[in-house]
Amino acid sequence: MSLAEQYLKAAQESPFLVIKYNYNNSKSAARYICISRDCTKLTWGTRESKLKEFVFLKDVTRVVLGLRSQNLKRHNSIKQIAEPWNCFAVFLSFGRTLDLCAESALAARTFVMALQFLVKQRFPGIIQHVGFQLRARCEMEVVFLK
């Protein structure tokens, strides 16, 4: 089993506890996120057993590790983010982002790499190129270009 497949397995087997940052009301809330067993959805909810909200992975356009979305930058500027290196954002094709902060840098990296692997493997028709760019302050951006 490759390292990428191990990341995916970890992201499917048990939900990750994250802080989800809302755009509209500048609030944050603890949520559990997971990749669905059928590898088609990114799901989240208030409890590990109640992952009711979701987006389809086919709508993911890029995954960014670090404070790269406008919403995460805004929350960081008002000191709501304790550990910015644990943050990542999932950008969606309809203009929405899921702005999240994991419990650890390892958890954030695991989830980002699992999502990147899954989108690349399961939906090759929507991805022409996957690019990695190392940014200042050790931020990494994974971009899926259509």
46-93 per-position pLDDT tens digit: 998 889 999 998 898 888 888 888 888 887 776 777 787 889 999 898
Residue 135's closest CA among 33, 65, 75, 74? Answer: 65
Q: How many CB atoms lie within 10 A of CB 96?
A: 12
Q: Which domain holds residue 130?
A: 3-145
Cα distance from N-terminal residue to C-terminal residue, the chain: 28
Judged by DSSP in three states, 63 sits in strand
Quick check: 145 pLDDT over 60?
Answer: no
CA nearest neighbour of 19 among 116, 104, 95:
104
Predicted pLDDT at 122: 61
**Domain tally, the chain:** 1
pTM for the full predicted model: 0.77
Q: Which residues contact 133 (CB under 8 A, 6 or more apart)?
A: 140, 141, 143
CATH number, domain containing residue 127: 2.30.29.30
